[in-house]
Structure 1
Amino acid sequence: MSGLMTQYCESYVGSCYEPRQGEMCLAKFSEDGLWYRAACIEPCLTSCLLVFVDYGNIEDVRMEDIRQITDTFLELPCIAHHAVLKDSEVWITQCLFEDWSSTGPCSQSALNVWKRKFLKNYYPG
């Protein structure tokens, strides 16, 4: 699927895609320059805070590196799973917030949206 995803994203013609909060999209990961499925945690003016749903990475991605996702790429379920140790959610949220803040714009509201919308929509149960 990664070959098809790269071909689709690299041949994309159109303006930058701006996903809404909680919306799935395709995005280029900065460390390897490859395209992956992602969900928007928080849109900003020129970038979006995204979680890469098959790996769990979170990154602030420039709008020009985001593409609208097609149904073909939504057929497979998300591979990454969110897990929290019992009684440790507050501590984990604080650690995630510190990590995300160092890599790009993030707010407590973004974390709340991620927990409320993304986890509910893509990891029900």
Structure 2
Amino acid sequence: MSMSEIIGLVILAIIVFGPEKLPELARKAARILAYLRRVGNDARGQLRKELGPEYDDIRLSDLNPKNLVARHLLSTEEVSDLRQIRDEAMAEGRIMKDALDEAAGVPDGGTAFSATVSAQDSPIVRFDPEAT
């Protein structure tokens, strides 16, 4: 949140709640925030205790499979190689799109190639949540 948004929220709170109730509401909000932090820290501590000492260095962000693979299975060299391959593929894709647009006779920055595909030409992809 930016400073202007915070100032706007403070002015709105003063108008809605009034200056006499605002300190009491701020104290209640601080207590709720402290309670939520305490619950979060207790849950984190209980998770670490249940997992055991071999998982002391695990972070909650590691539970995301993307982060887990990047941190534990790939070295920094492999990650940089994958990023380089991604960047090269994106550059080749841009070159291919520009060549197709040029062949269609569209000036630079045009999108004739993407505009030529109508909704009728594109296949309908249906999602079945029970199949996954």
TM-score, normalising length: structure 1: 0.19
Write 1 or 2 for the structure with the bigger share of strand: 1
- Structure number with larger C-alpha Rg: 2
* Bigger share in helix: 2
Query: So what's the TM-score if we normalise by structure 2?
Result: 0.19
